[in-house]
Amino acid sequence: MKELEGRIGLLTGGSSGIGYQIANTLADAGATVYAISRTGRVKEGWEESHEGVIHIKGDVTCYDEMKRIVTEVAEEGLDFLFNNAGINKKCRAEVFPMEDYRGIMSVNVDSIFHLCQLCYPYLRKSPHKGRIITISSMAAHLGFVEVVPYCISKSAVLGITRGLAIEWANDNICVNSIAPGWFPSEMSKQVYDPERQAKTLARIPLHEYGNTEDLGALARFLLSDNAKYITGQDYALDGGALALGF
């Protein structure tokens, strides 16, 4: 029997990249994963998802839409929520458009908190202990130029993770986050030019980008019965970057 057999969960941003890989890894471990994305399908050029991944079209910033989706999915029960959707924009802080700033906060912070609220009554009833996992970032721990609002939003993710972990500790729910280091993604392509990529690799002790399969493996562990006693933690998968001194 697979370690996540029979478990049902929601995952945001699962049409490509990190979310796509994690959704497939969890499904391969036996879970049924409802992957929410703006298109409701796998991005063009990517292989079809595992049969255990069910794609749903939805806007994570629309509370009513998310409420409908959560209610429909949770009719069969709900064991985990995986918050992966996020956006970024490259721009100096002193001229950062406020409209874009609000957009980043809406996706990276507000939608996460709202989904946690919506899933709470179902997760607390999970026979496997409900789990919430959110993708944070190195930007929650380190400062980066031209993406300050993103840094702010990912710091907020740590606040959500730790706060909910404590408040819901006696409600049958564990709450954790994963901070990916540098993994190839559509978002990173938008903000990383060749010069910045070279500087980044020099800053990573292992001197290589991460493999998204490792992210999937960590997510699978945090949803398994082996992680029932883990809550309020942020796991850095970063090739040693946070440990590097100067």
- Specify whether 20 is catalytic: no
- Are residues 193 and 207 in contact, defined by beta-carbon separation less than 8 angstroms? no
Both tokens assigned to 21: 């890989």
CA distances from 200 to 93, 206, 241 (A): 21, 11, 9
Both tokens assigned to 115: 């989904």
- Sequence-separated (6 or more) residues with CB below 8 Å from residue 206: 239, 240
In whole angstroms, what is the distance from residue 36 CA to residue 33 CA?
A: 9
- Choosing from 20, 120, 150, 235, the catalytic residue is 150
Q: Which of 55, 54, 58, 31 is CA-nearest to residue 41? A: 55
Q: Which of 224, 234, 228, 135 is CA-nearest to residue 174? A: 228
Q: Which of 24, 115, 109 is CA-nearest to residue 35? A: 24
Q: Which of 173, 178, 144 is CA-nearest to residue 158? A: 178
192 phi/psi in degrees, rounded to 5: -110, 110
The counts of H helices and E strands in the chain are 8, 7
In whole angstroms, what is the distance from residue 54 CA to residue 41 CA?
A: 9
Residue positions annotated with a catalytic role: 150
